[in-house]
Structure 1
């Protein structure tokens, strides 16, 4: 119900505008309830300073505070609807200002750091500045034939049955469902593996075409995705990574079953 209702960004008023709800609103102006381009709902975030740049932990206290705060804008929020939790870190500065400049100690690095909440609106202007510096410093010329539009297979789950049937008729792999939660086919996964911007990890495929994004969070489809990647790349399934280097998820075979057959674990 919330997904169909939240078609734009919602956020509670700041604590100055509702002094009787200072505790619920909290200390940060960040966060809200927003609908993504894929139709699901994101809630949050909050913001806390942490000592480690690799601290991606979440805790129940922060989660409860986010829900409590955002319920002021969307009373329909229900913790039972939450599929998964995300966290991330960003490099802030003690000056609380952007750092956008040519490298101080290097001539081939351009710095765009310390960019916090306003970064999403400032990013286009920052990109223009850095592009102009590169043109000036490297005497670079813009490609006259550059095409920024990449045409890819549309998400079949969003197509009418007649249109989807046409794709399946051309390539039966579009009819082989791998992720039931998000209705992602084998053909779409292979398209991602063969795209100019290559992805060859389970997380990479997940971000590109969404297998594993649904309610089961990859509990059913991840082994199938790993097998597809292994077959397409010509590698063993033990060599397929979840994401970053070293994130192996299959380590070998069990000692075998009663028939002497091995099984992947």
Structure 2
């Protein structure tokens, strides 16, 4: 008889959309040597989540977001009450975005699924139409939503697009499971964009999965320091600062949520 523990990696695999598994499964594609993320299975996955289906990777626990922000402010060289510009790539409707905003920080999220960002906007209040304005990007970069506070911006489009307006813009990148959800082929273009968007000496707070079994399968993929710091991943532009260990417990047997801090090197 096959144990539940043995089946767990496969069960977790099928709960993630196929978009992060290969270039041929409808979510990823290469066009003239340019890698892009397509909506594909992500849209259906988010519809299922928002309609009450399994939460997959989502952690709807404000305490976990508070801990993440504490790790971030501890790692920055600024005082704890100094507002930070924080980028949240492939954010979905992660509560961290609203929580960091509520603490006075300037937040920018990027995700390709409109339903996920719509759910996020409602976290800021019920006056969705009055509180948010939208414009379409002139370069095909999707829709940009701006909150009336001036401290929250949501990009509804491809994370891997070049966005010159975001060059060297962010003190912090908050990555919860985004790196670990990407196939090996996707990590280089993803990290390249983050290196462009992050200020010199800016930090990356990244959460990844540590798996007891099925480490070669994903998503989510098993990720350790060496994976993060591959030259073709973060290692080309970032220095490793600190291993945070397990940042909070998961309700997934055989998995631990691990945190790491990286720092953007000085631009030459």
TM bucket, shorter chain = under 0.3
Q: Which TM-score applies when normalising by structure 1?
A: 0.27
Select the structure of larger CA radius of gyration. Answer: 1
Relative to its length, the structure with more strand (as a share) is: 2
